[in-house]
Chains A and B, each alone.
Chain A
């Protein structure tokens, strides 16, 4: 089920009635939330709930064993069980076809003819999110940073909590499980604020991502032609905006829905396109993933504790695997490679140039960062390297030449809205939505909110899936 659907409105309305009605005690409310979460997931593909159950059972048992065992080898064994099961799911369901394709290419290259039948593996929605979330639980328990969940119900709800189940934020156990221990109820103000964020998230997804930007991005990336300079840039900017609004929209919905139930989820996006530099970009883009990779990959690989070379290697490996996390294709790995390269160059240059940062040179550097981030999106969105290379070539050399696939209105729309997006992010680096709405007052906020509702209603998309569901 997706948030941007009529089904979700009915589903959530029923949950709110049961949650705030006088029918259930706290334990039964949690059972109801757990059951609802399985319904939320199962409405997409019921049999794949079994994977969720296996992941939940294995990590619940592993977490308890790790916590209570005293012998290091046994603790390590249970950690391995958790890792093998979760990474095994990922390897089979997400990377099975990719591994097979690469194996075939390799043996064919070696001169052997091998053509197995395609495996036709279904990618379970959100598998990358919930496997990372449960792995963080067992690793934290192993590292004695966390006590196991008090009850199986609390743990199962942590794994399955529907607002963030299929596309994050990837919540750490310490941040969410403890919220289930005591009864939660949103205040009226928190409930309204949650509703506002839910509307904002839906506006980002339905109006901005699907209505304003997806058409131009699709037209350019599916063109299969040598493109004109302006079209190539417009397509890339459109995808850049589309993926931000799509993913940030999902996270904003998840946070808003959680608020309406009285729970708090951590922020996942903080105006990333206003970042000055790539370290800052990764502190603002998909924060829950980048902090997961930092804590469970970059730091265990040595982080910055063993000298510059080791740090650069750790950084690059983290970004390469981060790229692969997004999709089973070499284009995603290259996307990670570009970001790794940017981060390494940034760290090499850091300290060599000293100047006082002001609004204007900050804007210039943010613009440079945004431009370079846009180049990486080409490899993220393109089906293959040939398409990516065509677009990159047009972005550099296609001035006055190449196929024109976008009309003047679409070009203007993409450039103007992308410009507004960039400037808004730059302005919001030191602000929050709450600060802006507070200072705007109830009339302006109310009219802006109503405008979002109106635009959502007149856009009425067909419940397009969020891009990150496939990751």
Chain B
């Protein structure tokens, strides 16, 4: 690549490149929009870390939500803010165990506000193992937060406007079957069965996320039974080997953390969100309430809200057995916050 034999017509080459690049990228964007894709932020470690940073300097009235996907989908930040005047910090992770986040906040911050801890029984009460999928899923984000560089922050800051405006940039570290980056498109290409994994049902994205990590179920999942059934097949596939959780292990681990948090003046609440169908049956079998949820509340001495105990929280339908539609999530949030205010778990909103 010596400089002496520069090819001729480089300016012409550059113009041709610009023209064809624009045509191809714009066509690609329109193609995906014509297939119903809209710009969406990915639920990734960068956005999670950006949100986690808010816990470092919270004000006295702040609320932090930790949990798995149910608190992510079911607690709607705009509705919460409308009712209390406080925008909660959403740190739930789909498929992730909230205990590492609880530990991180208690051990590595001075946070002493309100913590809402979502309890998805199959995840929360699973064996305490840092190698488990649900634990490492959350731990990876925590580790990234503590190690992220200024370059990571700058890149994420610059990526937001692009991802908010271009549908073809939709991608996720969850590796959804319908992601549209090149790697995902290649991954989705299957020629016959060789490894056996090809038999797994495709796991398509069924949510939208905003910059505050407020997550809403897609209308397609909420209203299209066929699509919701594809998600149900995935839940069945993921849980076909589900076993009864070990008793007391998670409760003992969490109790110590909760005591430390309460000792420094923190306010903590557990929330058990609704589940239906297959999940409800699995959870009743593998994590029966009286052996897990009730014991958790007893050993930690913490107020807990189980959807079955409150008229306003029960009778919701989960289109895919585990999460609420956007509209129902608004209602659920409203009902839950009303209970928290009534029980003085949250300070009464100031009327300006």
Binding site for B on A (CB under 8 A): 1-2, 5-7, 10, 42-46, 188-190, 192-193, 195-197, 207, 210-212, 215, 255, 259, 264, 267, 404-409, 411-413, 432-435, 437-438, 441-443, 445-447, 449-451, 453-455, 457-463
B49 CB to closest chain A CB, in angstroms?
Answer: 13
8 pairs of A and B residues whose beta carbons are closest in the complex: A446-B16, A450-B20, A438-B7, A43-B151, A6-B158, A408-B191, A7-B154, A442-B9
B18-51 residues with Cβ-Cβ distance < 8 A to A are 18-21, 24-25, 28, 44, 46
Q: In the bound complex, what is the Cα–Cα distance between A447 and B19 (angstroms)?
A: 9
> For residue B24, which residues in chain A have a CB less than 8 angstroms away from its CB?
450-451, 453-454
Assess A458 versus B16: contact at CB under 8 Å? Given A7-B151, A192-B11.
no
Cross-interface CB contact of A407 among B19, B182, B183, B195, cutoff 8 Å: B195
Assess A445 versus B190: contact at CB under 8 Å? Given A1-B151, A197-B1.
no
Interface mask (B191-231 → A, CB under 8 Å = 1, otherwise 0): 11011111000000000000000000000000000000000
B16 with A442: CB separation less than 8 A: yes
B5 with A435: CB separation less than 8 A: yes
B1 with A408: CB separation less than 8 A: no
Whether B187 is near chain A, meaning CB under 8 Å from some CB there, is: yes
Please name 22 pairs of A and B residues whose Cβ atoms are closer than 8 Å in the assembled complex, sorted by A. A2-B151, A6-B159, A10-B158, A43-B154, A190-B6, A192-B10, A207-B182, A215-B187, A259-B3, A432-B5, A438-B8, A445-B7, A445-B16, A446-B12, A446-B20, A449-B21, A450-B19, A453-B21, A454-B20, A454-B28, A462-B46, A463-B151
Q: In the bound complex, what is the Cα–Cα distance between A192 and B16 (angstroms)?
A: 13
> For residue B155, which residues in chain A have a CB less than 8 angstroms away from its CB?
5-7, 463
> For residue A434, which residues in chain B have a CB less than 8 angstroms away from its CB?
1-2, 5-7
Assess A441 versus B9: contact at CB under 8 Å? Given A10-B158, A211-B186, A459-B182.
yes
Q: In the bound complex, what is the Cα–Cα distance between A433 and B152 (angstroms)?
A: 33
Q: In the bound complex, what is the Cα–Cα distance between A233 and B39 (angstroms)?
A: 39
Binding site for A on B (CB under 8 A): 1-3, 5-21, 24-25, 28, 44, 46, 149-152, 154-155, 158-159, 162, 168-169, 171, 173, 180-183, 186-187, 189-192, 194-198
B5 with A442: CB separation less than 8 A: no
A409 with B11: CB separation less than 8 A: no
B1 with A255: CB separation less than 8 A: yes
> For residue B196, which residues in chain A have a CB less than 8 angstroms away from its CB?
404
Q: In the bound complex, what is the Cα–Cα distance between A409 and B190 (angstroms)?
A: 6
Given A450-B19, A458-B180, 9 more A-B residue pairs with CB atoms under 8 Å apart are A1-B151, A2-B151, A6-B162, A10-B158, A43-B150, A211-B182, A215-B187, A407-B192, A449-B16
> For residue B169, which residues in chain A have a CB less than 8 angstroms away from its CB?
460
What secondary structure prevails in chain B residues at the interface with A? helix
B152 CB to closest chain A CB, in angstroms?
Answer: 8
B191 CB to closest chain A CB, in angstroms?
Answer: 4
Q: In the bound complex, what is the Cα–Cα distance between A189 and B9 (angstroms)?
A: 9
Report the nearest B residue to A9, measured CB to CB.
Answer: B158
B195 with A445: CB separation less than 8 A: no
B191 with A409: CB separation less than 8 A: yes
Cross-interface CB contact of A438 among B3, B5, B19, B190, cutoff 8 Å: B5
Q: In the bound complex, what is the Cα–Cα distance between A190 and B155 (angstroms)?
A: 28
A454 with B25: CB separation less than 8 A: yes
> For residue A462, which residues in chain B have a CB less than 8 angstroms away from its CB?
44, 46, 173
B191 with A407: CB separation less than 8 A: yes
Q: In the bound complex, what is the Cα–Cα distance between A460 and B163 (angstroms)?
A: 11
Q: In the bound complex, what is the Cα–Cα distance between A188 and B171 (angstroms)?
A: 37
Assess A449 versus B13: contact at CB under 8 Å? Given A7-B154, A211-B182, A264-B3.
yes
Cross-interface CB contact of B1 among A2, A405, A433, cutoff 8 Å: A433
> For residue B159, which residues in chain A have a CB less than 8 angstroms away from its CB?
6
> For residue B16, which residues in chain A have a CB less than 8 angstroms away from its CB?
442-443, 445-447, 449-450
Report the nearest B residue to A437, measured CB to CB.
Answer: B7
A179 CB to closest chain B CB, in angstroms?
Answer: 12
> For residue B25, which residues in chain A have a CB less than 8 angstroms away from its CB?
453-454, 457
> For residue A404, which residues in chain B have a CB less than 8 angstroms away from its CB?
194-196
> For residue A189, which residues in chain B have a CB less than 8 angstroms away from its CB?
6, 10-11
A407 with B17: CB separation less than 8 A: no
A185 CB to closest chain B CB, in angstroms?
Answer: 13
B307 CB to closest chain A CB, in angstroms?
Answer: 36
Report the nearest A residue to B152, measured CB to CB.
Answer: A463
> For residue A454, which residues in chain B have a CB less than 8 angstroms away from its CB?
20-21, 24-25, 28
B199 CB to closest chain A CB, in angstroms?
Answer: 12
A215 with B183: CB separation less than 8 A: yes
B185 CB to closest chain A CB, in angstroms?
Answer: 8
A450 with B9: CB separation less than 8 A: no
Q: In the bound complex, what is the Cα–Cα distance between A264 and B84 (angstroms)?
A: 61
A416 CB to closest chain B CB, in angstroms?
Answer: 13
> For residue A43, which residues in chain B have a CB less than 8 angstroms away from its CB?
149-151, 154
Most buried by B among A210, A264, A450: A450
> For residue A42, which residues in chain B have a CB less than 8 angstroms away from its CB?
150
Assess A45 versus B149: contact at CB under 8 Å? Given A6-B158, A7-B158.
yes
Report the nearest B residue to A403, measured CB to CB.
Answer: B195
B202 CB to closest chain A CB, in angstroms?
Answer: 14
> For residue A10, which residues in chain B have a CB less than 8 angstroms away from its CB?
154, 158
A143 CB to closest chain B CB, in angstroms?
Answer: 27
Q: In the bound complex, what is the Cα–Cα distance between A256 and B147 (angstroms)?
A: 31
Report the nearest B residue to A46, measured CB to CB.
Answer: B150
B13 with A459: CB separation less than 8 A: no
Cross-interface CB contact of A44 among B151, B190, B198, cutoff 8 Å: B151
Report the nearest B residue to A453, measured CB to CB.
Answer: B21
A446 with B14: CB separation less than 8 A: yes
A370 CB to closest chain B CB, in angstroms?
Answer: 23
Q: In the bound complex, what is the Cα–Cα distance between A463 and B158 (angstroms)?
A: 13
Most buried by A among B7, B21, B194: B7
> For residue A443, which residues in chain B have a CB less than 8 angstroms away from its CB?
16
B5 CB to closest chain A CB, in angstroms?
Answer: 5
A6 CB to closest chain B CB, in angstroms?
Answer: 4
A39 CB to closest chain B CB, in angstroms?
Answer: 9
